[in-house]
Structure 1
Amino acid sequence: MASKRVSALLLLTLLMVCDHLYAITGPEVAHLLNNRYQNTTADCVGNHPAYFCSGVLVRGSPETGEFWKHSEIATQLGAESFNYLRADLGTRQLTQKNGVVFSDTFTAIGKFQTLDVLCAYPFTFAMTGTRPDFGCGSLAARAEPDPSSCAAQGVSDAQGWIAHFQQQGLQPDKQCSLSSQAPLLFKASLVAHQGLGGTWAASPNLLQIKNWDANTPRQIPIQALFYDITQTGALLGAQKDQRDYFIATGDWLPILRMNLNQAPDGVFGFQQQDQLYTGYEVAAQMNARYQDVAASCANGTPAYYCNGVLIRGADASAGFHAWNPSPNSVGRNGVSFSYVRDDVGTIGLAGNQGFTFKESFAPTGHPAILRCSYPANAGTSGIPDSCRASCESQNITTVATWQARYAASPGTSCAFSNTPAAFQLSIAVRAVMSASARQNWNEIIIAAWPQDIPEQIPLEALFYLSGNAAALNNAKFIQRDYFQQTARYLPIVRMNLRATDHRPFTYDTADQTLQGTSTQTLINGITPRAPGEY
């Protein structure tokens, strides 16, 4: 009777915290998983097996298709194969580089989701569709509530299991499965996993979990997605899964970094930049800066420190990283950007795709240093030092004095310095340029940075001109190139400077290149710049 009261109280508690569990953030999920990973209890409250409250259930994702759909083998068996990770197990790498994390059973109960663990094998193996009893059997199928097979072979503890396994010649597919219903037998599967030591202990175990309804993914007890940071390209697979789940449900699952070689309290981690949805936030921030036309920042620094968007057209090439300064830029210590803002009036840029920099206030390893600015394209590739004589040195300090000298040929303008007043004046004088000249880009000179430091410069996003399919393909190649060099995700945003809602930057998950497209395919899709183009 007391046991029933404890179980009822436990269920009530789970239901009370259910809403909170739905709303937890990515960092909180990582913290919960690290706590479960470190919990090495033999059983859980109410005399339940350890997986009810401890350890982490994970399943590798297929490279194609929706990850929650059942494979052909799982459909034949009626069950899927999972791995169970915990600090007292020696597992250091899984067979697949990314996948899904299921919640513990108590959490699933609290969310009215079904999680039916059927049996446990101390070591993983290639499951076949003909193995009886949901993949738990090693003999003829039996109609028993517990489908595990060890009991029928006289195996009831870890030492007995090891002896039986040795009798089978240590062949993983000859294992018998231990019960997942009895706490002592499930614990025995964990002890047996460690009992042979060496490479055996470092390999994963295997749990069979009864198939769920794949047509209702929101009812599956999924807690997160993971990728193994020690395996190349793993993030792309996790992002594909994140996108697929969002398309199917409208919900975002957090992507977690996993490193089984880390200390137990740091196996799982969350990084905002890994999430596909961060692109929406980046686009929103860029639009907000675009709409902010303040002449300077709150602390008196130039406007580019806090508003507007610094943007550079860049070619896609398998022989050159788009974010590196060109030899010409290095020689004249000037990388040409444009500065777009709602009051600048630009609708055309020097390039159909490229990248943007964060506002100069944003912390970064190698900040952008603005040397000078021009209200129009100044053709600086032919200027040895990029910056002509300063406007101040010519006593050009107002719109009127600039107009009198340069309005007829703005491309020959003097260079405005990087003081707040001078930078704002470089924008203000555009109001007296001809309509056609004002539609074209201005030119902002950023000091050249060292080659091959993409993680240190303030890269914010990649862009392509809206409606330009070739530019999107080029941006996708640059995105993949960046990922291969840094193992980080840089979102692609669509740009339309003619947008009537004054929000020229748009993010779409369909524009991103994820798992499933080879690098060679992206290289083949590059469209070089036409001779004489911009």
Structure 2
Amino acid sequence: MKGSTSRSVVRRCVERARSVLTVIGILLSVTCAPANAASGVDVAQLVNQRYDSRVERCAVDRPIWMCSGLVVRPLAGGASQQLAALTPEETQTQSAELAFVRGDLRTSSLGATAGFILADGFTASGWQKPYDVRCVYPVDVTPPGITGAHGCDLLGGTTPVPPDWSSCATHGVTDATSWLAHFVANGQTPLRQCSLSAQVATQFYAAMQAHGQVADSLAQMPMSLLIPAWNPATPATIPIQAFYFDVSTPGQLVQAQRYQMQYFTATNEWVPILRVMFAPGQGASFGYDETDQLDSGFRVVARLKARFADTSPSCNGGTRAAYFCAGVIIRMVAVRDMPIWNPRPDYITRDGVSTSYMRADARVTQLATGRGGTGLIFKEFGAPVEYPLTMKCAFPANAATASRPDSCMRPGQNRYCDALGVTTYAAWGASQCPFSVTPAQFNLSVTVRRDHAGAVDAWNEQTIKPWTRDIPAKIPLEAFVAVGDAFVDARTIQLGYMNATGRFLPIVRVNATAAPDQMFIYVPADQVGGQP
């Protein structure tokens, strides 16, 4: 018996030593790393690891929130919501209310469908942005502004010992069992609960145990933490590790992007947005998608500039036409035709949707007019997509395809340009024939413009076969276009697409007469999520 007890003691000592060494390693790594060093994928992994952690304390005797679980700031939403704003109650108590969630709790939400996640206590200290937790309430509650002890004393009469502002000790409550008995005696009313210590590891864990034993309706909500209120004018001091939005609630990506933009404006740092999804009986999972990020537009523009500069005559070793890897295909649309991702009935009738092909040697100086300066940019046709598009024919200038029965051949025509021997812009002007989309012929439709000594039409034209209606998420779109000052209409299109698909596509400023490095410009403030 004594030998068994000794082995048990040794085992606990070894496990504790391992825990200490692990935490020391974490501290060294986060202290030496800048706050924004981790990629979005890395941040998602760290957040999931903390959510899935099951430790009862951190290091030797530090409370759980220092290394495990998630400290979350749920935000109610709305276009005017400021991420660092304090409520009137918080201003009065000088405590900010946060939520605590972990995978072993029955919590089924983060308290709101969008908000931000703080770094754990150790990491925040490494960023030189430490925070302290004044107290923890096992049941979600918003303390009234008049609550004593900075919001930690709902029942009154507590004499706190800062930095521990908790109130339960005054009522003889020190563990989960006594907290539950006290809560029942006070009618199981959230505003009549005492707060446990967030400084003492055993009491914070007791708060989690108590949360796990309350009624389901209360356990579905997170635990409440109170920390010293930050200065709303200096959001850079808040150790935000990620923003989040609940994918099950429409419209929340825009809100998360607004918070991301606000933080960038204050700090010049892009903090990642994470998707969160709760599965019944399985808790939450957090994921990172590069296309959710407001700064993803910069990467889109970099790709557009690279494709515009690529004058390759063909792709894939000459087996594919140039539009499979080079150039930029744009379709101008009018916001009055929303949803603009659906082909209009007349396009379906004539079996064609008109586009323009921009490339450094294509001499396109203007995009199609008469549609208000808004449009769509398609991905290169060689990109891996769910719904590939089909190019039907190409023209070196505006070919008035609306009057062509199949959007390629004019009435009475039945041959492509190669069959007619058309190899110059002047010859094409006389015949108005369509170029086929073989690698050689498609490239010729571009180079006849390039090589023509005289003036050419402001834009060229290519016909794409209409795609199926009502599949916006499947169409290989890359961005939306704003020409001139068409930002309001472009945002209407962007928001409509986000509402229909839950996905973000950037608005890109396109100026066909600008220098190549200025032809495609991305500005975060142009986006719906970049608006105040």
Is the shorter-chain TM-score for this pair beyond 0.5, marking a shared fold? yes
Q: Aligned partner of 1:497: which letter?
A: A
Percent of matched pairs sharing the same residue: 37
Is the counterpart of residue 207 in structure 1 residue 228 in structure 2? no
1:373 matched to 2:394? The reply is yes
2-side partners of 1:144 and 1:348: how far apart?
71
Taking the TM superposition and a 5 Å limit, the aligned residue runs for 1:192-341 are 192-261=210-279, 267-300=285-318, 301-317=320-336, 320-341=338-359
> Which residue matches 1:362?
383
What does residue 27 of structure 2 align with? 14
Distance 1:163 1:373 in 2: 78
**AA at the equivalent of 1:366:** Y
1:37-86 CA-to-partner distances (Å, cap 9, x unmatched) read 11111111121111111101101125334312433322221211111111
* CA distances 1:316-335 after superposition (whole Å, capped 9, x unpaired): 13x63101111111112111
Q: Which amino acid aligns with 1:416?
A: F
Whether the aligned pair in 2 keeps the contact of 1:61 and 1:99 (CA below 8 Å) is yes
Q: Superposed, which structure 2 residues align to 1:51-200 within 5 Å? A: 51-62=65-76, 63=78, 64-138=80-154, 139-140=156-157, 142-145=159-162, 146-200=164-218
Amino acid at match of 2:74: G
Maintained 8 Å contact 2:103/2:284? no
Counterpart pick for 1:387 among 383, 402, 408: 408
1:32 matched to 2:50 = no
C-alpha contact (below 8 Å) 2:30/2:127 kept by paired residues: no
Matched AA of 2:509: R
Cα gap change, 1:363 to 1:108, in 2 (>3 Å): same
Could you tell me the TM-score, scaled by structure 1's length? 0.89
The aligned residue for residue 7 of structure 2 is none
Summarize deviations over 1:506-530 as a string: whole Å, max 9, x none: 000111113879xxxxxxxxxxxxx
Q: Normalising by structure 2, what TM-score?
A: 0.89
- How many Å apart are 1:115 and its aligned residue? 1.5
Unpaired segments ≥5 residues, structure 2:
1-13
| 1:488 to partner: Cα distance | 0.8
**1:220–1:126 distance in 2 versus 1, CA, 3 Å:** closer
Tell whether the 8 Å contact from 1:390 to 1:417 is kept in structure 2 after alignment: no
> Per the alignment, do residues 432 and 393 of structure 1 end up closer, same or farther by CA in structure 2, a change over 3 Å counting?
closer
Q: Distance in 1 between matches of 2:145 and 2:55?
A: 33
Distance in 2, Cα, partners of 1:193 & 1:515: 38
CA distance in 2, matches of 1:72, 1:265: 32
State how far apart, in whole Å, the 1-side matches of 2:278 and 2:385 are: 29
Aligned residue for 1:491? 506
For the residue of structure 2 that corresponds to 1:324, the secondary structure is coil
State the AA in 2 paired with 1:379: A
Contact 1:295 1:420 in 2 (8 A): yes
Q: Deviations over 1:131-157 (max 9, x none)?
A: 111211120463522211111011111
Distance 1:50 1:374 in 2: 66
Counterpart residue number, 1:532: none
* Structure 1 unaligned blocks of 5 or more: 518-534
Mapped pair 1:478 → 2:497: no
- Once the two structures are TM-superposed, the CA of residue 377 in structure 1 deviates from its matched residue by 1.1
Is the CA contact 1:108–1:221 (under 8 Å) kept in the aligned structure 2?
yes
Equivalents in 1 of 2:170, 2:421: separation in Å?
A: 94
Q: For 1:69-126, what per-residue CA distance to the aligned partner results, in whole angstroms no more than 9, with x for missing partners? A: 4333222212111111111101112332111100111112222221201111111123
1:418 corresponds, among 437, 458, 471, to 437
Q: Deviations over 1:428-470 (max 9, x none)?
A: 11135575533x111100011100111111100000113x2xx
After superposing the two structures, state which structure 1 stretch, 216-225 or 280-289, moved more: 216-225
CA offset digits 1:355-401 (Å, max 9, x no partner): 110001111111111010011111111211111144346332533xx
Write out per-residue CA displacement over residues 189-210 of structure 1, whole angstroms, 9 at most, x where no aligned residue. 1111110242222122111112
Aligned with 2:525 (options 466, 489, 510) = 510
In 2, the alpha carbon distance for the partners of 1:308 and 1:277 equals 23
The secondary structure found in structure 1 opposite 2:136 is strand
| One-letter amino acid of the counterpart of residue 39, structure 1 | S
**Structure 1 residues 122 and 313: alpha-carbon distance in aligned structure 2, compared to 1, 3 A threshold:** same
Give the aligned partner of residue 5 of structure 2: none
One-letter code of the match for 2:136? A
Mapped to 2, the partners of 1:13 and 1:456 lie a distance apart of 42
The answer to whether the 8 Å contact 2:260/2:294 transfers is yes
Contact 1:303 1:420 survives alignment (8 Å):
yes
SS in 1 for 2:73: strand
Q: Deviations over 1:477-514 (max 9, x none)?
A: 10011011001111101111111244311000111113
Q: CA RMSD in A?
A: 2.5
User: Would the alpha carbon gap of residues 445 and 510 (structure 1) be closer, same or farther in structure 2, given more than 3 Å must change?
Assistant: same
Give distance in 1, aligned partners of 2:440 and 2:516: 29
Total equivalences in the alignment: 505
CA change 1:19–1:59 in 2 (3 A) is: same
- Which of these residues, 36, 39, 61, is aligned with residue 47 of structure 1? 61
Cα separation, 1, equivalents of 2:401 and 2:516: 33
CA 1:12–1:173: 2 relative to 1, 3 Å:
same
Alpha-carbon deviations, 1:394-414, whole Å to 9, x = none?
Answer: 332533xx53x334x5xx610
